[in-house]
Structure 1
């Protein structure tokens, strides 16, 4: 594990940035149905700077920060980008790029009913399976979040077994974002990037397969995928997950812009920038001075886009 202060310490995803053309439908989902609070809302200052940092095709206009007070990471920033192309459907995980956000639900049937009443569609009925390599039962259901072209995994919260804000606030029914899932064509490279460049703690390295997973994701019989999941030293949310994407049945074009940007505070931004400068891990902006302090953008070659700042 990397030592504090060397710039490698990834300690979870603080803010999940979702660029969208119009924030209204997602405010209905995240605020009205899932109980996120609007923490701040207003025009984006320095839009050209943030367009560069987030690698967007047009300048962002407005930002809405949504949070779960008492949580340690996993907040959502909706960024309105006028004219942003409509995203492709997520479908099965068969190409690099962002795939899903995971949430824990205290009363999943009730919350899912409210979400369904808003017109959102679920990919399947709930499935039950054991987390690979454990006897830990998982109840999960997938939502098709078409406004960002993502799946949302809704997982049954289990008291004392699941780390999230629900353990601190018994009145809350839906957690913060507890994981961001990216598909990659290079899972070993993504694992090394997380551990050696970011200093993340990989705590799961295994395979998801079997009939329940096939039903959940709409996979063909026998299909599955390998994945790695990382936390930081404090083991707080939201986690970073990479899965080895499936071979597509037909070629699918790469995503034209990052549909998800993982925002992470780091201890030493200068050291991180130096490790990324050669371009081995993707295209980095280098350190960019903004009104909110130094920032660094990365469009990684592992299917994930990042925004880093000093902790």
Structure 2
């Protein structure tokens, strides 16, 4: 059963700039840089070139939502995230204890936000949201910087007073098969839908550089223990002219209870191209895993829950 995204794999041509962002500015704790020697990882992550080294970035007191930077020299550069009008990875969400202060530090280091801070109510509720979008061009993503609300936005900040930025709280994949993506997340992965709404507030349009009145539907999924990060599918906006990125800019690495049952459910190919169950080795040992380049704009690396 799906219980959140344990690790967000970010393949890039050079890990150095993103290490600065996530470690120096957002406070993730880096592990050792390790070589990638097993060719199984290239297949699992559906990469067009071989990865050479990797580093895991953690929020040690969190439960999921860690980041793994994967260096793959020669990986083609991504297009900017732009409008949410093509399938694929689109955004990572982070909560901030003091969003304005953290954003000022990020801007001072040369990173660019799309707009000033915006304020809106979470669709279908009166819950206030203060949010700002950061451009992350090395993966072609945007990052949502969201003001933390005590007892209202569950994350590592709840129980670690030293943390200013949360783990990754959600990974957003845009899809042109929205109904199918929701069914896949719920009935194949076993995720629990806990929010669905349409993001079309004028503040959201301003934040994402959309036209007035434009927006998109989105649904979020988590598991019984509500581990971060959540899986979010957004319905692509009409009128897009860009083709999907052939490179998976985000791979969602998720623990599953029964990998063989999942492999059987994916064997027919209706949900995308699967590697089947394979063994992959790294510095921690050998694990059974399954890669999926889904038809829903999301790429996954599933492994057996220990």
Q: Same fold (TM over 0.5)?
A: yes
Aligned counterpart in structure 1 of residue 26 of structure 2, from 23, 34, 53: 34
1:159-195 CA distances to partner (integer Å, 9 max, x unpaired)?
1111100001011100000000000001100000000
- Distance in 2, matches of 1:117 and 1:103, equals 19
Question: Aligned residue for 2:288?
Answer: 294
Question: Aligned residue for 1:278?
Answer: 268
- Distance in 2, matches of 1:270 and 1:167, equals 36
What pairs up with 1:187-206 in 2 under 5 angstroms? 187-206=178-197
Question: Aligned residue for 1:306?
Answer: 300
- Distance in 1, matches of 2:119 and 2:69, equals 31
What pairs up with 1:39-78 in 2 under 5 angstroms? 39-46=31-38, 48-78=39-69
- Distance in 1, matches of 2:11 and 2:86, equals 19
Aligned-partner SS, 2:145: strand
What pairs up with 1:247-262 in 2 under 5 angstroms? 247-249=238-240, 251-262=241-252
Question: Aligned residue for 1:101?
Answer: 92
Structure 1 residue 39 displacement after superposition = 2.3
Tell me which moved more, 176-185 or 239-248: 239-248
- Distance in 2, matches of 1:248 and 1:51, equals 33
| Structure 2: tracts of 5 or more residues without a match | none
Do the aligned residues in 2 keep the contact of 1:95 with 1:248 (CA within 8 Å)? no
- Distance in 2, matches of 1:160 and 1:112, equals 22
Structure 1 residue 254 displacement after superposition = 1.5
TM-align CA RMSD: 0.8
- Distance in 2, matches of 1:147 and 1:297, equals 23
Question: Could you state the TM-score of these two structures normalised by the residue count of structure 1?
Answer: 0.96
Do the aligned residues in 2 keep the contact of 1:163 with 1:236 (CA within 8 Å)? no
1:39-72 CA distances to partner (integer Å, 9 max, x unpaired)?
23210130x2111110001110000100001100
- Distance in 2, matches of 1:248 and 1:45, equals 42
- Distance in 2, matches of 1:248 and 1:112, equals 32
- Distance in 1, matches of 2:105 and 2:20, equals 11
Aligned-partner SS, 1:40: coil
Tell me the number of residue pairs that the alignment of Structure 1 and Structure 2 aligns. 301
Aligned-partner SS, 2:161: coil
Do the aligned residues in 2 keep the contact of 1:120 with 1:143 (CA within 8 Å)? yes
Do the aligned residues in 2 keep the contact of 1:40 with 1:66 (CA within 8 Å)? no
Aligned-partner SS, 2:33: strand
Structure 1 residue 118 displacement after superposition = 1.5
Question: Aligned residue for 1:5?
Answer: none
Residues 1:145 and 2:142 are matched in the alignment: no
Aligned counterpart in structure 1 of residue 82 of structure 2, from 62, 76, 91: 91
| Structure 1: tracts of 5 or more residues without a match | 1-8
Runs (4+) off by over 2 Å? none
- Distance in 1, matches of 2:18 and 2:108, equals 14
Structure 1 residue 306 displacement after superposition = 0.1
